[in-house]
Amino acid sequence: MKSFISLVVVSLVLSAAVTEGRPDQGRGGGATGGAGGGGGMSVTDPTQFEQFVSKLKLNEKKQLPEVQKIFLDVAAEAAPIAQELTRLRTQMVAEYGKPDRLAPLEAAFNAASARMVAAELKAFAQVQALLKPDQLSKSADAFVLIAGIFNPPTPRSPSPMRRGGGGDQ
Amino acid sequence: MIANRLIRFVATAVLLVIGLVGALSAQGRGGAPPGGGGGMGGGMPSFTRLGVLTMTLKLDEAQKKDAKEVLDQEFAAAEPLRKALLAARQKLGAAVQAADQAAIDQATSAYTAQATAMAAAEAAAVAKLVAHLKSDQAAPAAVQTVVSLMRGALAGKKWDTTPDLRFY
C-alpha cells in the first residue's frame, strides 16, 4: 500500500513538474500566494510549482531539471506523511463535536504537519544550494509558495471518466 | 479494516487518474496547468468545489443551498485563521532566508499550530456538510472525497473555486 501511495505521489509530481515546470509562460507568473494568500485563482493561473520556478527565475536548462528531481525525491519520502494527514482529516470529521476524541487527532495532525514542513525545508535547502545570490534573496517568498506542495491534488471533477456536462445533476 | 483499506485504495486511485489525466491533457495543450481550461482541448472539465460536491453527493437543490450556506458561514468564520496561517508561513519563510535554525524551529511550531487549526476548521465544515446529507449520500467513500475536496477550502480568498491549490 505504501509503495503504491508513493508511486501515486511521484507520478503526480513528475507529471506536474514536466508539464508545469516552465518559467512564466506569459500567464502572470510570480504571484505571491502560498499559505492562504493565493485563493480565488482562476484555472489559468500558474500552479504552485510554476510560481516557484517563476519567483526564483530558475534557469530552464540547468537549474530546473535539478529542482524537479529534488521535488520528486522528497515527494516520494513525504508520501506517507501526506497519507497520514488525509487519514487524520477524515478522522477529525468523524469525531467532530467530541472534544476528548478530537484533541489527540489534532495533536497527531500537528506532529505530522511538522514532519511535512521538515520535508519542505529539506527540499528547499537542496534547491537553495543551486541558487545564485540574486535568487537566494527571494528565498522567503519562494518558500511561502511551496506550502503543501507535497500533498496530493484535490479532485476537480466528480468522475475521472466523465466529460462535458454542467455542474449540476 | 478491509473496508477502510478498500476506501483508501479507491480514493487514491481516483486521485491518480484525475492527476494524470489532467497533467496529460495539459501536456497536450503545450504545458498549461493540469485540469485547466474548463474542458478546453479535450481535457477533463474542471468544476468549482460546489459543483464537485453537487455531483459527487448528488445534492438536490435544497441540499445544495444548505451546503453553500454552511460553507459561506464557515469560510467567514475562518478569516482570522487565514490571516494567522499566512503570517506564520511568511515568518517561516523569513527564518529560512535568514538561515536561522532556532527561528526556523520556532516558526515551524507556530506554523503547524495554525495549519492544525485550519485543518480542524475544515473538518468541522465537512462534518456540518455531512449532517445535511441523507444516509445513502454519506457513504464513506463519498465523505472521503469531500474531505480531500475541502482541503484548503477555507485557506484561500474564496472557498468555491476550482480546487487544486494546496495552500498548506
ipTM of the complex: 0.76
Closest chain B residue to A85 measured between Cα atoms? B119
Cα gap B46→A12, rounded to integer Å: 17
| A 13-72: CB under 8 A from B | 15-16, 18-20, 22, 25, 33-48, 50
| Residue A165: CB atoms within 10 Å | 15
Please, which residues 120-139 of chain B have a Cβ atom closer than 8 Å to chain A? 120, 122-124, 126-128, 130
Helix (H, G, I), strand (E, B) or coil at B91: helix
Across the interface, do A147 and B39 touch by the CB < 8 Å criterion?
A: no
Mean pLDDT value across residues A145-149: 94
Residue ranges with strand state E in B81-156:
none
Task: Return d(Cα B167, Cα B58) in angstroms, integer.
Answer: 27
Name residues 91-120 of chain B within 8 A of A (Cβ). Answer: 92-94, 96-97, 104, 108-109, 111-113, 115-116, 119-120
pLDDT-based confidence at A122, cuts 50/70/90? very high
d(CA A123, CA A125): 6
Residues A28, B143: Cα–Cα separation, whole Å: 35
Of the CA atoms within 13 Å of residue A117, those in its CB half-sphere come to 27
C-alpha to C-alpha distance for B42 and A163, rounded to whole angstroms: 9
What does the pLDDT average to over A125-135?
Answer: 97
Q: What confidence score (pLDDT) does residue A161 get? A: 35
The Cα-based distances of A122 to A47, B38, B63 in angstroms read: 21, 35, 44
CA A98, A100, A101, A106 torsion: positive or negative?
positive
Indicate if the pLDDT at residue A155 is higher than 80: no
Residue B154 in this model has a pLDDT that exceeds 60: yes
Mean pLDDT for the stretch of residues B144-163: 90
Please, which pLDDT band fits residue B168 given cuts at 50, 70 and 90? confident
In eight-state DSSP terms, residue B40 is G
* Confidence (pLDDT) at A18: 36
Q: How far is CA A156 from CA A82, A160, B70, in A?
A: 18, 9, 20
All 3 cell numbers of residue B36?
485547466
Residue with more model confidence, B6 or A24: B6
> Mean of the per-residue pLDDT values for chain B?
79
pLDDT at B8 over 70: no
Q: Mean pLDDT throughout A18-25?
A: 37
